[in-house]
Structure 1
Amino acid sequence: MWDLAVREGDYARADSLIRRLSRTPFSGRALDAFARGDSTARARILDEAKLADRAAALPDAAEFIAVYLEDFARAEQFLHLALAPRQKPSLRASAHQLLGTIQMSQGRWSAATAAYDSAEGLGAPDVGREGRAWVATLPFLAVPRRQVEAALADVARWAPSAAAQDRGLRLSGTLRPGLRLYLLGLLSSRLGADADALRHATELERADVPPVARAVTRAWAQTVRADVAWRRHRPADALAALQGVRGEIPLELDPAIDPGHASTVTIEQRLYSEEHARYLRAEVLHELGRDEEARHWLETAFQNTPSELTYLAPYHLGLAQIYQRMGERAKAADHYSRFIELWKDCDPELRPIVADAKARLTTVTGESPRTVPHGGPP
């Protein structure tokens, strides 16, 4: 209920709900101060953020402000406090991971991978490898081929089974060999090595995992198959493969944002959460002319998921294209404008996508694109 109130801009109700907790978390108070535009409250929160006993709450505050207000500059201000040398390495590692996600939301995959490497350097195991591979598999990015090849080679050298028993989460550790196959499958698909990708999908289906995790490896396998079909311009085959992805994620692997405990989601947990498959489903439905279904998927598939920020810009671009084809010009213009604002400083490889969005915006409005203020959550 709190999440819904914030997304609807009903901050009075959100504040009322969060005050029911025995102690109102710093992240909730920070979000409220910046959402209301109260300069006095903002100054007070920023002063409080510098206190030593607030350090652990800084990433949560940053994530709330980024997710709910799309105010990335302010979110990074909190993260830079968490990255100060005086902070614990574990906190700095978490802050680097969240900073990488915020960079991804702005189309800056190169800065994101650098942040993930920094997190690994502070003791977060495998984050650099997983982050580089995850970024290279994202279906809406134009990652240079050499970077994809490097990520594939790195994952191929990885032998996660040896370290599985050392993981705090038993199920997570058991699934790490399968996670390796999933990444290999998606990276192979990205490189056009279809036979390798499909072989990894078959290996995933045969993986020896506990019964509670079989739906996870099955979903990974079907996502790889769908990715291969989608990249080969076979949307009907991709959609058929995606029927096997049903959101059956064990609770242990399914982190959720709640007031006060938002920012500890790892790259590994993002790979369990099926956003890649959800994005593909919306794309292939749109390609098949089933725009109403595609719109529904986009509007419901990413809210309160581990990678909500990562998919924010493609969410807006996808809805813009759907509304344009439906003839709803005002809605199309709004989403094109928000996409352009999010990716205005993206990596060079992504600039053609932004240029196309600007051209489409001109088509639906008859005017040149302009910078728009953050409009809040979708």
Structure 2
Amino acid sequence: MELAEMGAIPRETVEAVLARWFHHRADRGFSFFPWFADGPCHRTLEAALWWGARRDTASLQRLVSQEESGARAVRNVAVAIDARPVPGFARAALALARGDTSLALSRFLALPDSLCPDAQQLREVRFRLLAATGRDHQAAAVFDGSHDRRVPLMLERARLAERLGDRPTAINYYRFVAQAWLHADPELQPYVAEARAALQRLTGEPAR
């Protein structure tokens, strides 16, 4: 979903897929959209974060209701962990959509990782909200404690390292971004240019 966030996938496409997913959760056709997470709880979290970032409170209210209803329905039923409804994701994203970053962060931090095993999106939103609220060292610890090395997050970690005055780490991650996306699509080239400019600023080396 991060490529959609960066403009590489049209917003209209994402909205259409999410609308279809909301009404047809069991549809197997979503495997044709590799940018949309696999697994029930992971998709719920991605949808919640997408709508939260766009302040789409109406969609999130519907998602909260749907997840709460689903949670009641399986309360005494054996269901795979990653298939259980997680209303907390939608509630946390709703706080984000309403502009209450502190409440959103507290809710995301309070959610046990066991609710959705290996949910990289949960670590990602914690990292970003910690950085957004000035808790830079905690944000760095969240990132460094994970194995998530997707390029968009590497760029954000580079920015954070530069802000913290950690020059070697910033250089390392900016260099990774510049190399990984050297031949990326045009929509991503501004990020490559940012990484190159940062490397020139931090190392004195001419931009390549």
Length-normalised TM-score, structure 2: 0.73
Query: Which amino acid counterpart does residue 154 of structure 1 have in structure 2?
Result: R
Q: Which amino acid aligns with 1:351?
A: Q
1:316 corresponds to which residue? 154
Who is 2:6 aligned against?
Answer: 141
Structure 2 gap segments, 5+ residues each: 29-38
2:63 corresponds, among 182, 195, 200, to: 200
2:207 aligned with 1:344: no
How far off is 1:230 after superposition? 4.5
1: distance between equivalents of 2:176 and 2:12? Answer: 31
- For 1:184 and 1:331, the matched residues in 2 are separated by 32
Q: 1:238 aligns with which of 76, 92, 104?
A: 104
Distance 1:366 1:349 in 2: 27
For residue 274 of structure 1, what is the aligned residue in structure 2? 119
Q: What amino acid is aligned across from residue 313 of structure 1 in structure 2?
A: V
Per the TM alignment, residue 346 of structure 1 is displaced from its structure 2 partner at its CA by 2.3
Aligned-pair identity (%): 27
Residue 36 of structure 1 corresponds to none
In the alignment, is the contact (CA less than 8 A) between 1:298 and 1:318 conserved in 2? Answer: no
Counterpart-to-counterpart distance in 2, 1:285 and 1:156:
29
Q: 1:367 is paired with a residue of what secondary structure?
A: coil
- Residues 215 and 141 of structure 1: CA distance in aligned 2, closer, same or farther (over 3 Å): same
Partner of 2:135: 290
Q: CA deviation at 1:292?
A: 1.2
- 2:106 & 2:201 partners in 1: Cα distance? 34
* Bigger radius of gyration: 1
Contact map agreement 2:81 2:115 (CA 8 A) in 1: no
Q: Tell me, yes or no, if the aligned pair for 2:55 and 2:96 is still in contact at 8 Å.
A: no
Question: Matches of 1:319 and 1:179 in 2, distance apart?
Answer: 23
Give the unaligned 5+ runs of structure 1: 1-134, 164-174, 255-272, 371-378
State the shift of 1:200 in Å: 0.1
User: CA 1:226–1:361 in structure 2 vs 1: closer, same or farther (change >3 Å)?
Assistant: farther
CA 1:193–1:338: 2 relative to 1, 3 Å: same
Distance 1:193 1:354 in 2: 30
Change (3 A) 1:222 1:369: farther
The separation in 1 between residues aligned to 2:65 and 2:206, in whole angstroms, is 49
Flag the 1:151–1:336 CA change in 2: closer, same or farther, 3 A.
same
Aligned residue identity for 1:346: A
2-structure distance, mates of 1:197, 1:147: 18
Counterpart residue identity of residue 149, structure 1:
E
CA contact (8 A) 2:126 2:139 kept: yes
Could you tell me how far apart the structure 1 residues matched to 2:112 and 2:101 are? 18
**What does 1:143-292 align with in structure 2 at a 5 Å threshold?**
143-160=9-26, 176=40, 184-189=47-52, 191-207=54-70, 208-209=73-74, 210=77, 217=84, 220-230=86-96, 234-249=100-115, 273-292=118-137
Cα deviation 1:89-108 (Å, max 9, x = unaligned): xxxxxxxxxxxxxxxxxxxx
User: How many residues in Structure 1 have an aligned counterpart in Structure 2?
Assistant: 193
C-alpha deviation, 1:156, in angstroms: 4.0
Alpha-carbon distance in structure 1 between the residues aligned to 2:128 and 2:168 = 22
1:231/1:322 CA distance change after superposition, 3 Å: farther
Check 1:239–1:189 CA distance in 2 against 1; reply closer, same or farther (3 A cut).
closer
Aligned twin of 1:172: none
1:69-115 deviations in Å (ceiling 9; x for gaps): xxxxxxxxxxxxxxxxxxxxxxxxxxxxxxxxxxxxxxxxxxxxxxx
Which residue identity is paired with 1:141?
M
With over 3 angstroms needed to count, the CA separation of the structure-2 counterparts of 1:199 and 1:339, relative to structure 1, is: same
Q: C-alpha deviations, 1:255-283, integer Å up to 9, x for none? A: xxxxxxxxxxxxxxxxxx32111101111
Deviation of 1:138 (Å): 6.5
